[in-house]
Amino acid sequence: MHPGARNDALVAAAAKYELPVELLMVVAYRQGRFEKADAPPPVTLDVPVPVDGEERNDEHGGAERFGMFYLSPEQVTEGAQRTGLSEEAIRTEHGANAMAAAALIAGASTRFGQDSDFDTLAPARAGLTLFQGLQESPVAADLSVKELVAQLRTGFDVTTGDGERLELIGFGEVTGEQSQALGVGQYPPTQWIPSPNYSSRDGYPVRFVVIHDMEGTQSSAISVFQQSSRQSSAHYLLRASDGHIVQMVQEAQNAWHCGNGWYNRNSIGIEHEGFAGRPGGGGYYTETQYQASAQLVAAITLRYGIPVDRGHIFGHGNVPSSGSGGICSDAQANAAQCGGSAHHWDPGPYWNWGHFLDLVAAARNQPVGPPPPPPVAPSCGALASGASLAPGQALTSCNGAATLVHQGDGNVVLYDNNSHRAIWHTQTYGRATSSFVMQGDGNLVLYGSGALWSSGTFGNGGAIAVVQDDGNFVIYGAGNRALWATDTQVQAPPPPPPPPPAPKACGGLGAGASLGRGEQVSSCNGRFVLAHQGDGNVVLYDNGRALWTTRTDGRATSSLVMQGDGNLVLYNGGAALWASRTDGHGGATLAVQDDGNLVIYQGGRALWATMTQR
């Protein structure tokens, strides 16, 4: 160990709570390279903040953290309770901060034995998982422990901003897959860990790549993006140490990363380990991470025909606070004047844009191809280049679900024919209009005494406008690239009623019996029916009225099984989606009673019931 306040603090905390000092060192290194956590970036509120979920919930860069262990306010409070130190000391002093972190990690850890414990960190796994807030995400917790083990093997030697040196000599070689050379435009290997936080692109194309930093590490970001309550996600997450890439949202879907709905629907979001406000991202903006990200971005830009320039590859801070206007300058981004509705500024002033775009261009390394073909107009619902709608004329989607009408009152209105409501209009009612023209220059214009409304898409010769089957009215340019859209959709027509399930013997299910998808069992008086529906839900009905349900509609289910161990389980293949939790009662049976109650019995004793008797 070298002299200095941090080194002394780590040694003292490790001794106090009987943890290896190497463990505390590698955790602090991974948290923030031994630098104190920065204050949250400045936020201006000179524009209204939208209230819809995907625009107000973006998780990058606003969390308050303290000290070299990046403790949350909740951890500061708990650390004070465990150590007897003041919260102010834990927030501001290296020694107290290390003591609090060690107390939190040790609280759920077991004692370390020989050095071989460093091979898996098994004694500290539970403590590390709780400390990093990963208890709800086993896959993120596993990734985090593997990262720490890898760092223990390689070691590090860093000098902090105020000149203190911290060194850990690695104890072995890093194991794992070796990186391999990739061909031009090939996607690098990724690990798939799905996030529930995404929606449809609504017909919008991928035209931008947005670069983010995580204000932390990959494993902690995975945990956040797996929580549906956080309403945030990104398509890809990169790790600084080895360039490992995790994908959490498919490119065809809309990830919630920009704090701006229009830019979300038109982009792919890539998160990187690091901190926007610290030189070199706090040591996380490594050449390894730049190289891996450039390979990924090169593949994305080739796939979607995206130019490699700052107009199409930019940071979260360059995203406008709202709307679909042009991107903000780097000066505005780094002053937190843009960055979506929450005014985030990542990846910050220390991201090397020139070097990064050079790496992307080198990874693409192929000649420019021929210009994209003109858009292909469908046989119906399209307004071709040069065509127009006069007052009283209309354009209907191919499936008849949406109609665009140039009304006699001067308004051009898009109607949802399923719900019989207007979903978009030009707001020109009461004006004298003559024609709604898809001009040869690509601009869609409503004329009266001059131009009363336009799409602003001039400069795209040959563009067409299409009323799509999904209710979106879109202008397409060369290569079927969307230039403008109403961002609307029609209400889905009600689905046809499912076919009646196959009958099954009355009374219930014996031990070992099952109810397949589409099957049902009724009470012997015929009034009450337990149905395993095609939509995945298991429902108890009273003459067609639902009394109880497993709430699994929309899930892929295979069978409801009255197991030999007494547990009633609804399965999706080999995965249990719902259970009565009555295992340990062999031979139990399920009864659909004539009084409307659904009961599991063992030898005449009720173990579980829906309490729905009538």
**In DSSP terms, which residues pair with 538 in a beta bridge?**
532
Give the number of other CB atoms < 10 A from CB of residue 192: 8
Which pLDDT value is given to residue 173?
57
CA angle 141, 123, 133 (to 5 degrees): 30
Integer Cα distance of 192 and 250 in angstroms: 9
What are the Cα distances from residue 349, in Å, to 35, 278, 318, 485, 568?
A: 18, 9, 12, 33, 57
What b/e string do you get for 369-399 counting C-beta neighbours within 10 Å, with b at 16 or more?
eeeeebbebeeebbbebeebbebeeebbbee
Q: 428 with 413: CB under 8 angstroms?
A: no
DSSP code, position 192: E
Backbone angles phi, psi at 437, to 5 degrees: -115, 130
Q: What is the CA radius of gyration of the chain?
A: 30
**With a cut of 50, which residues of the chain have pLDDT below it?**
39-62, 174-180, 367-369, 501-503
Supply the pLDDT for residue 498.
Answer: 63
For the chain, domains (ranges, CATH) are 5-169 (1.10.530), 191-364 (3.40.80.10), 382-485 (2.90.10.10), 508-609 (2.90.10.10)
Tokens of 99: 């003591």
- Output the CA–CA distances (angstroms, integers) from residue 379 to 406, 418, 485, in the order listed: 20, 21, 20
Distances (CA, A) of 600 to 517, 548, 579: 20, 15, 12
What pLDDT is attached to residue 182? 64
pLDDT at position 181: 54
* pLDDT given for residue 373 in this prediction: 77
What pLDDT is recorded for position 282?
83
CB 455 within 8 A of CB 484: yes
Is 501:517 a contact under the CB 8 Å cutoff? no
Q: Is 181 helix (H, G, I), strand (E, B) or coil?
A: coil
pTM attached to this predicted model:
0.51
pLDDT at 604: 86
- pLDDT tens figures, 357-397: 988 998 887 544 456 677 877 889 999 998 999 999 999 99
Q: How far apart are CA 86 and CA 65, in angstroms?
A: 16
**Structure-block tokens of residue 486:** 């109403």
Please give the helix or strand (H or E) that residue 334 lies within, else none. helix 330-334
| C-alpha to C-alpha distance for 562 and 495, rounded to whole angstroms | 31
Interval 512-546: pLDDT, tens: 999 999 999 999 999 999 999 999 999 999 998 99
Interval 99-150: pLDDT, tens: 999 999 998 887 776 555 676 787 888 888 888 877 777 777 777 788 888 8
